[in-house]
Amino acid sequence: MHPCPQVLIRQFSKLVIASVILIYSSLAYSSQFNVLLFTKTAGWHHKSINGAVQAIEKLGDKHHFNVDWQEGAGLINDENLQKYDAIVFLLTSGDILNNEQQNALQRYIQSGKGFVGIHSASDTEKNWPWYTQLVGHVFKIHPQIQSAQLDVISRDFPGLEYFPDSVLWTDEWYEFGSAKVDDLTYLLSVDERTFNPDTKWNGNVGKGMGAFHPVAWYHEFDGGRAFYTALGHKSIAYQDNAFLQHIYGGIYWAATGKGISVSP
């Protein structure tokens, strides 16, 4: 015996309601954006990578964004990158992308997406001019790990709410070459009067950057957005709330373009 029309209508109505609830739930609980966390190294391999990955995954859980941790450069392709709003080069080093992958990353940024570089991201792809412009500065050398005075230059950027104007911070203070582009907005600097920048390594000599030694900045570049921070050498840094919020601010802006304070 076939069910009567009234029964069919009730069953259909229940199915429609269930489908609506499922769709609504999916929308309500979907992540606010997706991030590819990339940690491939071809040079120095930081012991802090695993702890840093775990910290950023926790940031994703706290701030409701999806983190996909990968090390395979083959995933830097047009099809795969379409899934992400920003890519984070976390403690990467050396020449890690072939020509095809470089072109895919370039098209990704040109499509309006975001880039975040953390610490040795500036010691990555140093012979690729487009990438060095994306990051903003290229790493040259660093002295031994020391404590120094870290200063906030600008607060018109998300994630710096937890940093005091000046704070004693311990890190590996990267010395950089001159800026590769002229539109960088600097966020943090280290006062060279508070540490010894002199160093010699592998035939290279470092004397510091002088009165202005930037360590974090951002800019819009080639249709997309790029944020970089030189902090984050040691694993313990990724347990510091102020530093984690600094990273999240960069990820949030790179992924969404939002968060920069706008004067009325």
| Token output for 109 | 């940024």
Question: Over 70: is that where the pLDDT of 126 sits?
Answer: yes
Q: Where are the domains of the chain?
A: 1-29, 31-256
85-108 pLDDT, tens digit per residue, is 999 999 999 999 999 999 999 999
- What is the pLDDT, as a whole number, of residue 28? 39
Neighbours of 147 (CB within 10 A): 12
| Token output for 39 | 């940690």
| CB distance 250 to 160 below 8 Å | no
CA distance 23 to 17: 10
- pTM greater than 0.85: yes
Tally of helices (H runs) and strands (E runs) in the chain: 6, 13
| CB distance 190 to 151 below 8 Å | yes
Does domain 31-256 correspond to CATH entry 2.40.30.10? no
pLDDT averaged over every residue in the chain: 90
Burial 41-77 (b: 16+ CB within 10 A, else e): beeeebebbebbbebbeebbeeeebbbbbeeebebbb
Between 20-34, 98-112, 150-164, the lowest mean confidence (pLDDT) is in: 20-34
State how beta strands 86-90 and 114-118 pair. Answer: parallel
Side-chain-side CA neighbours of 74 within 13 Å: the count stands at 1
Banded model confidence at residue 201, pLDDT cuts 50, 70, 90? confident
- What is the pLDDT, as a whole number, of residue 203? 73
CA distance 202 to 128: 22
